[in-house]
Amino acid sequence: MSDAPKVFCLIGSMTPNGNGAKLMDLAIAAIENAGGEAELWPIREKRLPFFGETWEDANVAEFKSKALESDGFLLCSPEYHGTISGLLKNQLDWLGFDQFSGKPAAVMSTLGGQPNSNALNHMRLSLRWVHALVIQEQIGIASAKHAWNDDGSLKDEKVQERIEKMAVSLVDMCRRLE
């Protein structure tokens, strides 16, 4: 591993300036402030086919390679019908033990309504299944459309502090597992 741990970031939404994208932007900045390198898979530009639809796809090959080269992961998904988005699930389906085993991961979710941790728990379960080491810090933002100031910052400074703490923990865990 280089001096700066590489964190591969996956998002479960195609909405360019949506709640998940805003949350991911803040988390990426926090990872970089903590001394890590963060790379968000550009899912809008480099779409992945449905898992199993084809086994020969340039985007899938690049996606798997970047995941393999990473030192850790950050996942963010909206919560739809009590679980993660199909978009994130498809990304996870393309990866497995080779990419995740023994690497730290952090999870975040956004919800349109009341607080709930289903998406967070489902991400944790999927990651544990492929032997990722999910850190304890996690971010869930309920009523997400009301969580933001006009400049894209969070209204609740404590959530921003939790994002920063999560990023420090993730980068630190990547370094300790070097």
| Backbone region of residue 37 per phi and psi (left: phi > 0; alpha: psi in -120 to 50; beta: other values) | beta
The domains of the chain are located at: 4-174
pLDDT exceeds 60 at position 28: yes
SS3 34: coil
CATH topology of domain 4-174: Rossmann fold (3.40.50)
Mean pLDDT for the chain?
96
Q: How do beta strands 72-78 and 104-110 pair?
A: parallel
Would you state the structure tokens that stand for residue 68, as one six-digit string? Answer: 């393999």
At 2 the pLDDT is 58
Local confidence band at 178 (pLDDT 50, 70, 90 cut-offs): confident
| Percent of the chain topping pLDDT 70 | 99
* β-bridge mates for residue 74, sequence order: 9, 106
Q: SS3 for 24?
A: helix
> Which whole-number Å values give the CA distances from 99 to 5, 16, 169, in the listed order?
15, 26, 20
Give per-residue pLDDT as tens, 93-114: 999 999 999 999 999 999 988 8
CB 166 within 8 A of CB 106: yes
